[in-house]
Structure 1
């Protein structure tokens, strides 16, 4: 990729590149790949997540009755209000939320602030879910997840990014991972050697992204669950040219997506040999990937990008 300006990614995005660079390419560069089929349990976690976010955003302590009411409302909003296992889902959600509230007991909540980490001229943006001043006087910068903790989660590049952000913006504070399904809050700790190794890895990932390296990590276990499973394959030849600064959104915001018109292609020998009357004005890269076909001869190519302001051109070859 030819990029004019600084790359900027969120910690979860760069963690996805660590697990599979090709999925990162489809998800955060091309924005294609479809969606997973949602299950009742996924809706349960979305309901819990919405209550957690509301609690963090509110400065008022939540009573037991308010917690019950918010849980019922969130479950209903996710379509679980009339589900056959509504009572069981409510019990699971209540247990997760009570654990979340117990971890805040006696603590003073502070407004979480996004922290930008500069690595070789590129940026990683870390957004803590909450910041608490605990009764023991220690500030805890926390990332809250509704699911279970993965085996390597406390040692991966996402954890390293959170530790780097805490060291930079919250000296003396601790970084914590909270997993509501486990009912556990784990303090992150990496040795100086481990942290340096993860930092070097983050820098390498950013350099690889700028260089357009997105190899697929093929796995018979994880690939079938990937939203991009049915379109994953060879990518079209030719550079992707970014006319202005590439700043990908930290969180998903599909309403900000827009189609970008391409600039006229630069002439080359192969284009001049073509019968221009048979050329399309453009072909869409995302459509080609979704349909599993090669790109059609065209004067230019385009694909779906986030937050406008990015002019993308891939000259006809």
Structure 2
């Protein structure tokens, strides 16, 4: 008896009879290893407008080069259905742009702010929604938080900036530029969304940091303002992470300039609007005729 009470069985008498009819086993032939996967074929890109992108384009390219090509260079991004919450953010973002255009160093709230917000709300906000007033209250609170931050000395006009990279430009914008009492120059970006959990991994802020240093000719203090949740956070990027992000910016711009758009297969694919066309590419080259970035 074997352990566990199982009876040991003798081999069947038929095993030897069957084996005698089979003959010698065939020799195994080892198949050659498959060739290593080749890199993506380059897509010729003709730029009839300056080769200028922003951090959102670089983020998209870093996640999936092929989706970037479809969405931005071929213009096949489509348009999402906008929820009332998204439309509220659109109205707030339009008001932030108005504040940029109507900068007043002496007043955090420029003359005409109320009318500008009302016009932005009428055009972009969820005015036809059942909870429109509640959304408008939230939008007003977001903008009041921003105006409260701007009640300070040393404010300078917002600055549109450009960073020369790999034969092109990466555009950025400092919504707030402030000369502190201690002489340091602070540059801020304002976003209507909530602050991401991994702020230091965002290409947006390394682009802002590098572009601001190139524009102003001195080191700057980078801050991130997020109106949802009302946060103002310093972005202190460690030297090693700074080098890593700057290298990513150069690599992304170089890849786009060379027409390299490798797909990135993963869990995002089923939600991609180009899922059923991927990884196919039309023949010929792509022509970029309109500016893709404007330093938003």
Q: TM-score, normalised by structure 1?
A: 0.68
Quote the RMSD (CA, aligned, Å): 3.0
Q: d(CA) in 1 for partners of 2:149 and 2:60?
A: 28
Q: 1:179 Cα deviation (Å)?
A: 0.5
Counterpart for residue 139 of structure 1? 185
Q: 1:246 Cα deviation (Å)?
A: 8.0
Counterpart for residue 258 of structure 2? 211
Cα distance change, pair 28–251 in 1 and its aligned pair in 2 (3 A):
farther
Q: d(CA) in 2 for partners of 1:8 and 1:28?
A: 12
Structure showing greater relative contact order (alpha-carbon pairs closer than 8 Å, 6 or more residues apart):
2
Q: 1:3 Cα deviation (Å)?
A: 4.8
Counterpart for residue 204 of structure 2? 158
Q: d(CA) in 2 for partners of 1:123 and 1:2?
A: 19
1:172 pairs, out of 207, 214, 219, with: 219
1:2 pairs, out of 38, 44, 47, with: 44
Counterpart for residue 240 of structure 2? 193
1:74 pairs, out of 110, 120, 125, with: 120
Counterpart for residue 63 of structure 2? 19
Contact map agreement 2:109 2:147 (CA 8 A) in 1: no
Does residue 1:111 correspond to 2:157, yes or no? yes
Cα distance change, pair 246–107 in 1 and its aligned pair in 2 (3 A):
farther
Q: d(CA) in 1 for partners of 2:96 and 2:242?
A: 30
Counterpart for residue 228 of structure 2? 181
Q: d(CA) in 1 for partners of 2:211 and 2:121?
A: 34
Cα distance change, pair 210–172 in 1 and its aligned pair in 2 (3 A):
closer
Cα distance change, pair 231–64 in 1 and its aligned pair in 2 (3 A):
same
Contact map agreement 1:122 1:206 (CA 8 A) in 2: yes
1:98 pairs, out of 126, 134, 144, with: 144
* SS of residue paired to 1:34: coil
1:39-58: per-residue Cα shift (whole Å, max 9, x none)?
10111001111111112221
Write the mapping of 1:54-65 to structure 2, written as runs, cut at 5 A. 54-60=98-104, 61=107
Q: d(CA) in 2 for partners of 1:63 and 1:9?
A: 31
1:29 pairs, out of 33, 52, 73, with: 73
The gaps in structure 2 that reach 5 residues or longer are: 1-42
Larger Rg: 2
Q: d(CA) in 2 for partners of 1:49 and 1:212?
A: 33
Write the mapping of 1:241-280 to structure 2, written as runs, cut at 5 A. 248-251=291-294
Cα distance change, pair 44–216 in 1 and its aligned pair in 2 (3 A):
same
Counterpart for residue 281 of structure 2? 236
Q: d(CA) in 2 for partners of 1:95 and 1:222?
A: 37
Counterpart for residue 89 of structure 2? 45
Q: d(CA) in 2 for partners of 1:216 and 1:118?
A: 26
Q: 1:111 Cα deviation (Å)?
A: 2.7
Contact map agreement 2:225 2:231 (CA 8 A) in 1: yes
Q: TM-score, normalised by structure 2?
A: 0.72
Q: d(CA) in 2 for partners of 1:241 and 1:16?
A: 18
